[in-house]
Amino acid sequence: MTATLIDGISSRTLKTDRLNANILERDGDDPNAEAVVFIHGNVSSSLFWQPTMLRLPANYRAIAIDLRGFGDSETLAVDATRGLADYSDDVASVLRALGIESAHFVGWSMGGGVVQQLMLDHNELVRTVTLQAPVSPYGFGPTALDGSLLTPDAAGSGAGGVNPDFKARLHSGDRTADEQTSPRSVFRSAYVAPGYQGDHEDLWVESMLTTKVADGNYPGNSTPSENWPGFAPGDRGVLNTMAPTYFNTTGIVDLAVKPPVLWIHGTQDAIVSDTSYFDLNYLGQLGAIPGWPGEEVAPAQPMKQQTRNVLMEYEAAGGSVTEIELENCGHSPQLEYPEKFDAALHAHLLGRTAV
């Protein structure tokens, strides 16, 4: 197993009023400095944020939090009927335990949804928001451009869509690239764009393997459906939290206090995309899943356009939004184009726009 902490980063566990939460911190940071809090995505952990934390300007306090059931945080059941609110409430509890009254938040993928939920439920905590390849404000699943459900039960979303072999390999700690369904192969094919070469792939795989495959955690339960492809979201576990029956953060448009938002994403994102390889309707369209009922019944979810439309409404209602789209970049701008990501983030923290 590779070492998981990069020099200059330390780990500790906090007992909050909700859970025992593991956090990473940059060594030597001033505890009274403005905090920048990094929230990881699904099948991931705080470990992914270490290089970004080290590159943060010295006058900020860098913190990354392991969500429940990931990294070294406590494994507690997730109530999916609350959307991502279990996670956002956990994050708020960490800030209370640290005595931090407000912070800048950076959320990646599912973590971007957690930050959107924080904006709604703990608005007073949020100074600025950076959304990296975030889940759509309408969730991850079969919805039209306006967020309306394609079927009443959101068939095709939630935990039922997980490849059972990937789940088994994640649970067993498979570190090989022998199969397409191994975590390392999934990292190479989905987390980054083709051709990416980095220095820490072993560390990123270790981070993925911290995901707790357990009842109530990853991936969650599912229910049968009469609608294609035959299943609907269950009521517990990670993937069901983002089902469009439970998750909707479009209420950010109506916030009285609107934190400035930076949205940064890649053109080659295989996960959060208008043509996502994790969207069963799109896979059906490609012929990868049999029985697809057709474009009129089961179109692909226009995830990025949904996000863009909601953020345009946010801006029209008085909020500030900066969108940066990176060419030839996949799901991980902070890894694939660190200089561009840093420039955008650091300017955003200062209330500026990167040039």
* Maximum distance among all Cα pairs of the chain, rounded to whole angstroms: 57
Run means of pLDDT, 10 residues per run, the chain, 355 residues = 85 98 98 98 98 98 98 97 98 98 98 98 98 98 98 97 96 96 98 94 97 96 97 98 98 98 98 97 96 96 98 98 98 98 97 74
All residues at 6 or more sequence positions from 138 whose CB lies less than 8 Å from its CB, including other chains? 147, 244, 247, 248, 250, 306, 310
Q: What is the CATH number of domain 9-349?
A: 3.40.50.1820
In this structure, are residues 308 and 302 in contact, taking their beta carbons and an 8 Å threshold? Answer: no
Angle at which helices 110-121 and 85-98 cross, to 10°: 70
Compute the distance between CA of residue 20 and CA of residue 53 in angstroms, rounded to an integer.
22
Query: Residue 160: in which H helix or E strand, if any?
Result: none
Compute the distance between CA of residue 267 and CA of residue 133 in angstroms, rounded to an integer.
10
pLDDT value at residue 1: 43
Compute the distance between CA of residue 154 and CA of residue 231 in angstroms, rounded to an integer.
9
148 alpha-carbon distance from chain centroid: 22
What radius of gyration do the chain's Cα atoms show?
Answer: 19
Query: Residue 184: in which H helix or E strand, if any?
Result: helix 183-186
Compute the distance between CA of residue 261 and CA of residue 79 in angstroms, rounded to an integer.
28
pLDDT value at residue 2: 59
Domain spans in the chain, listed from the N-terminal domain onward = 9-349
CA dihedral of 255, 257, 262, 263, whole degrees rounded to 10: 0
The dihedral through the CA atoms of 76, 82, 88, 89 has a sign that is negative
pLDDT value at residue 352: 80
Amino acid at site 37: V
Residue 241's Cβ-side half-sphere holds a number of Cα atoms within 13 Å equal to 27
Which tokens sit at 121?
Answer: 């439920």
| DSSP 3-state of 10 | strand
Compute the distance between CA of residue 321 and CA of residue 53 in angstroms, rounded to an integer.
23
